[in-house]
Homo-oligomer: A and B are copies of this chain.
Amino acid sequence: MVRDRRGFIRRTKQREVILSVLQSTDTHPSADWIYEEVRQVLPNISLGTIYRNLRILVDSGEAMELRFGSGASRFDGNPKNHYHFVCLNCDRIYDLELSLQEKLEEQVSEKAGHRVLDHRLEFYGICDVCQSKKNTIDEPRHHDS
């Protein structure tokens, strides 16, 4: 009997599996990758259902949507604000342990006069994995494994 702006939300096997797939990885997968994973459990699921449920999960605060550069959205099963590092070579996204910079929000609201509700911080560069195999230009690998 969960309620949100959309009315009642029923518990479905599909959404359950989608969320568990999302929570079982730290690769910040795309909708398509999640689709392929969920399909191994529910072979008849459709991409539309993936998208619909990801939207529900994001809107209800159970997941987070990330958009870097171009291409597909990436999803994070950890909805608490945290920061990311994006590798420009392989496209991997890493969670960072950097502590939340709440003071920056204060600074902005004081100086600019806007009511600040949230912030995002991400770093770009070459990840440790790609550095160790230098001179290799990966075919961007997006969130697999």
Cα–Cα, bound, A123→B41 (Å): 39
Report yes or no: B115 in contact with A96, Cβ–Cβ below 8 A: no
Residues of B within 8 A of A127 (CB): 114-115
Nearest CB in chain B: distance from A126 CB, A: 4
Contact mask for chain A residues 110-136; partner B; CB cutoff 8 A; 1 contact, 0 none: 011111111111111111100100000
Chain B, residue nearest A122 (CB): B120
Q: How many copies of the shown chain assemble into the complex? A: 2
Known: A85-B108, A96-B108, A108-B96. Is A123-B128 also a contact (CB below 8 A)? no
Report yes or no: B107 in contact with A87, Cβ–Cβ below 8 A: no
Cα–Cα, bound, A88→B127 (Å): 32
Chain B, residue nearest A89 (CB): B115
Interface size on A, residues (CB 8 A): 36
Identify which of A5-13, A14-22, A32-40, A97-105 touches chain B: A97-105
Contacting residue for A123 out of B68, B70, B118, CB 8 A: B118
Decide yes or no whether A67 CB sits under 8 A from chain B. yes
Residues of B within 8 A of A111 (CB): 96-98
Give me the 4 closest cross-chain CB pairs, A-B, nearest first: A117-B125, A113-B128, A116-B125, A115-B126
Cα–Cα, bound, A1→B124 (Å): 30
Decide yes or no whether A69 CB sits under 8 A from chain B. yes
A:59-115 near B, CB below 8 Å: 67-70, 85, 87-88, 94, 96-98, 101, 104-105, 107-109, 111-115
